[in-house]
Amino acid sequence: MATQWHSWHGLGPRSVAVHRAGAVVLTAVGAQSRTADTLHPAEMAVLAQRPEARRADFVVGRRAARLCLRTLGVGGPVLGTPGGRPLFPPLVAGSISHSAGVGVCAAVRGSRYAIGVDLEQIGQLTLAHTGHLCAPGEEAWVRAAGPGAGPVRMTMLFSAKEAIYKALTAITTRPPTFPRITLRRRPGGFTALIAPGSRGWDPSAVRVRRLDRFVLAWVCIGREQSINPST
């Protein structure tokens, strides 16, 4: 099992990949891959409750989560909240995403963190979709890339904001909408700024990586540093 980013390139149905980013473990598992990471019996029970059309996504996501927890040295199933979000074992913060038959998971040990991960295929968004995505200034950044790289930038923005949104849902019942999250470029991703007066989160670093036809984004937020007591 490779642990470097090069194993993530060519991500597809047969992929199995692991990456450590500091304390965060990221894993990817394709739907046709061969790993020992099958679903926990308790996860099978959750699966049975899911709509049939969603079960393949659930399985590939939970397999990625099993691999992630095994890499962290943690046991236990990843169940689900009543709202459908993954419920990781105690003292683990985790997040799951899936796209085109690939499941990804990001997880970290500790109760002080909220984490979000997102995997998207490039090319699903165009400039016609900026209205519900971009904060001021971001559309100009996308347009400046031209027709070739513009869709990549759109996907980077979307994926980064989706990861932030997922992380914040573990902390607040009402995360900010995407246009209220302003992203500033930094090496390896973005710094996220939440519009003053909207929700009041401190800046957070969201990592973004292009993997051929995909964009992967993840963010790990320390709970204490994230909550602005003035709002």
Partner 1 sequence: MSPLAGTVEENVRGHLAAELCCAPDQIAGDAQLASLAGLDSIKLLRVVSELERGYDIKVDDDKLYELRTVADLAELVHTEIREQTQGQLSQ
- Residues at the contact surface with partner 1, assessed by CB under 8 A: 51, 53-54, 84, 99, 120, 124-125, 128-129, 131-133, 158, 162, 177-180
* In the complex, least distance from residue 31 CB atom to partner 1, rounded to whole angstroms: 14
Closest approach, Cβ 200 to partner 1, in A, equals 16
Instruction: For tokens 């992380």, name the residue.
Output: 167
Which helix (H) or strand (E) segment holds residue 182: the answer is strand 181-186
Please name the amino acid found at residue 165.
Y
> CB of residue 174 vs partner 1: minimum separation in angstroms?
8
Q: Which residues contact 131 (CB under 8 A, 6 or more apart)?
A: 179
Largest CA distance in the chain: 50
Residue closer to partner 1 by CB (options 8, 178) is: 178
Distance CA 131, CA 148 (A): 20
Which of 81, 138, 157, 85 is CA-nearest to residue 115?
Answer: 85
Q: Which is nearer to partner 1, 12 or 179 (CB)?
A: 179
| Closer residue to partner 1 (CB): 9 or 54 | 54
Q: What angle do CA 205, 12, 85 make, to 5 degrees?
A: 50
In the complex, minimum distance from the CB of residue 2 to partner 1, in angstroms, rounded to a whole number: 27
